[in-house]
Amino acid sequence: MANKDETFLSAVKDVNPLKVKSKTIDVSAKKPKPIPRKLIEDENRVLMDSLSDEYISPEFDFDENTSYLRNGHSPDIVKKLKKGFWAVQGTIDLHGLVSEEAKEYVVNFIHECKRKKVRCIRIIHGKGYGSVNKEPVLKKKVRNWLCQKDEVIAFAEAPKHDGGSGVVLVLLKEYN
């Protein structure tokens, strides 16, 4: 007994395709390019690995400053950021995340903001009340990571009514 494929092929061996011109079927349409998921995953891993928890910015003193401004930018930027000159266009909350999860979340969020041309974001890292010794773990790390990101122009601690020392407002570069 012949299998189904052989039966089908023998049944259609003399068939010629119809030459139909349809308004709804575009035979010249090309298949979409495949999504390089592994490449995207590898690029994200490189971005993650490029941020160091040990990095010390020459431009920022973590113990004394609550704001940061990348060299070459007007000092007015930090003042404007603190006063809400730029509307916050995106927010992430890092509560409950461990350091590595938070780093990945911040990197991905900034990458997505860059893609969407978002300028001003809010990162809620918390005040450390849920941490061992009641000290903020992510506060210093988030600020450290932000100093290393080329997309970041400035950041400042949020006003008290907007979260104070548990929140950082970030101004990103403008992308066209």
> CA angle, corner 6, sides to 31 and 13, nearest 5?
70
Indicate whether 9 pLDDT > 70: yes
Indicate whether 91 pLDDT > 90: yes
Q: Which residue has the tokens 């403008």?
A: 174
Pairwise CA distance, residues 45 & 140, whole Å: 22
Per-residue pLDDT band for 127 (boundaries 50, 70, 90) equals confident
The predicted-structure confidence for 40-89, as pLDDT tens digits, reads as follows 666 666 655 566 666 565 555 454 567 899 999 999 999 999 999 999 99
The predicted-structure confidence for 128-166, as pLDDT tens digits, reads as follows 777 777 777 898 899 999 999 999 999 999 998 888 989
3 state SS for the chain? CCCHHHHHHHHCCCCCCCCCCCCCCCCCCCCCCCCCHHHHHHHHHHHHHCCCCCCCCCCCCCCCCCEEECCCCCCHHHHHHHHCCCCCCEEEECCCCCHHHHHHHHHHHHHHHHHCCCCEEEEECCCCCCCHHHCCCHHHHHHHHHHHCCCEEEEEECCHHHCHHHEEEEEECCCC
Domains and CATH numbers, the chain: 37-172 (3.30.1370.110)
Which pLDDT score, from 0 to 100, does residue 117 have?
Answer: 94
Pairwise CA distance, residues 156 & 168, whole Å: 6
Q: Which two tokens stand for residue 167?
A: 């929140």
Which pLDDT score, from 0 to 100, does residue 28 have?
Answer: 66
> Which residue has better confidence, 15 or 62?
15
Q: Which residue has the tokens 């890092």?
A: 94
pTM of the model: 0.67
Indicate whether 37 pLDDT > 80: no
Pairwise CA distance, residues 114 & 153, whole Å: 13
Which pLDDT score, from 0 to 100, does residue 16 have?
Answer: 84
Q: Can you give the C-alpha Rg of the chain in angstroms?
A: 26
